[in-house]
Amino acid sequence: MPDLVLDTDVSSLMWRDAMPWQLDRQLVGLKAAVTFVTLGEAVTGACSARWTAPKRDGLQAFYEHTFGSLNWKQETPEAYGYLRGTAASAGYTLGQNDCWIAACCVSHGLPLLTRNRKHFEPLEPLGLVLL
């Protein structure tokens, strides 16, 4: 079982070997996972940038070998609906992908490491733990 989930922005910094030391230090001794959403966002970025098949394969291999994969489970769609609906009723608009990542974290009871805190802060009172 992983210790935390990395948002797409953090995992892409690792892919580019551009992790700031402050983030890197937070990961020492911890097992990180990414969600299926992050994998989808990474592939979308690679295809949008017209990466060659070998480079896309390298990206996929990096994600497979560097992180655990946190897939959805039965409670994830319910967590998604709760987070998105409750936030919307409070006047917050959340990106669908961010909300799915948060729902994976909440349904698995794992914290999220992100550099886009403002995207997720409205979800903290609803059970999302941010690092």
Residues 71-88 pLDDT 10s: 889 999 999 999 999 999
Cα 26 to the chain's mean position, in Å? Answer: 16
Diameter over CA atoms, the chain = 45
Q: Is residue 60 domain-resident?
A: yes
Strands 32-35 and 112-113: unpaired
CA angle 102, 118, 85 (to 5 degrees): 45
**Position 63 in a domain:** yes
Does some domain include residue 131?
Answer: no
User: Can you give the residue range of the structural domain that contains 13?
Assistant: 4-126
- Is the residue at 108 inside a domain? yes
Name residue 48's beta-bridge partners. none
CB-based contact 7:112 (threshold 8 Å): yes
Give the CATH number for residue 34: 3.40.50.1010
Structure tokens at 114: 């992100």
Q: Above 90 in pLDDT, residue 1?
A: no
Q: 42: buried, middle or exposed (CB in 10 Å: 19+, 13-18, 0-12)?
A: buried
Q: What is the pLDDT of residue 69?
A: 84
For the beta sheet containing 112-113, the strands, ordered from the edge strand earlier in sequence to the opposite edge, are 68-70, 32-35, 4-6, 112-113
Give how many domains the chain has, as a whole number.
1
pLDDT in tens, 4-58: 999 999 999 999 999 999 888 989 999 999 999 999 999 999 999 999 999 999 9
Residue 64 lies in a domain: yes
pLDDT reading at 118 higher than 90: yes
